[in-house]
Amino acid sequence: MGRPLSPGRPLRQRGGCLRVALGSVLLVMLAPAAALVRWWRRRRRGNDVKVWRREPERATLAGLELTVDAPLAREVEARTALIDALVRVAEELRRPDDVYHLVFRRPSEPEADLVAIGPQPQELAQRLSIVFSHRASQACTQLWLTLPRGVHLAEVVDPVAFDPEQSVAAADLMLTASPRWAMVSSFARTGPSVVYRVRLHMSPPEVDAVNPILARLSEVLSAR
């Protein structure tokens, strides 16, 4: 005759199975409720894309702030339209020797990433598409700088000292880097929406050329 099992062993097995079974039942019961909450949030949110524009107080460069709040069902449409508008801004402000750059810092990383994008607006569009569709980018603030050809990003940005998440970091860098124009961007999915925030910095005379592009973006997204 084999060695008998200890009295407690069958009870532990039975209790573990019971907990697993109860957990599975709870998940099955809660899943419809969670789906109902998501449906209700989407219903309350509606299907409209909301766009806000404003001109904040001027510092070294004139500023234009843009917020695009889109329902998740129209996320791709809103992102595509926003990127198209920003590329049009780049084309409107373009000088022959412009080169686009990106600075951001990943969470918990000791240094900022310095990315030389290239001189073509199409290259800027590709990088914007990557950043605005990458879920990891939600935790980052992106700084986009347009510098003259021959000025290397590492010459104007200290990757160890610069932290774009600090409130005054972008403004301080623009004082020292003197970009042709610049953008600060971020985005996040909040409940039933995805919200894109962009702050454009340019010389005051260029604001009148850029404003119609952003107005057109608002018209396109509000047409449906």
Burial class (CB in 10 A: 0-12, 13-18, 19+), 12: exposed
Residue 137: per-residue pLDDT? 84
Asked if pLDDT for residue 37 goes beyond 70, the answer is: no
pLDDT band, very low/low/confident/very high, at 36 (cuts 50, 70, 90): very low
Report the candidate in 180, 176, 182 with the shortest Cα–Cα distance to residue 103.
182
How high does pLDDT run on average in the chain? Answer: 81
- Selected residue with higher pLDDT from 51 and 165: 165
Q: How does pLDDT run across 106-122, given as a tens digit for each residue?
A: 888 889 999 999 999 99
In this structure, of 1-5, 125-129, 136-140, 202-206, the range with the lowest mean pLDDT score is 1-5
Q: Mapping DSSP to helix (H, G, I), strand (E, B) and coil, where does residue 208 land? A: helix
Q: How far apart are CA 72 and CA 146, in angstroms?
A: 31
Under the banding of pLDDT at 50, 70 and 90, the label for residue 99 is very high
- pTM to 2 decimal places: 0.76
149 has pLDDT over 80: yes
Domain boundaries, the chain: 1-45, 50-222
The alpha carbon torsion through 153, 167, 207, 217 (nearest 10 deg) reads 100
- The phi and psi torsions of 155 (rounded to 5 degrees) equal -75, -25
Task: Give the C-alpha distances (Å, rounded to integers) separating 213 from 57, 87, 206.
Answer: 20, 10, 12
Residue 145 DSSP SS3: strand
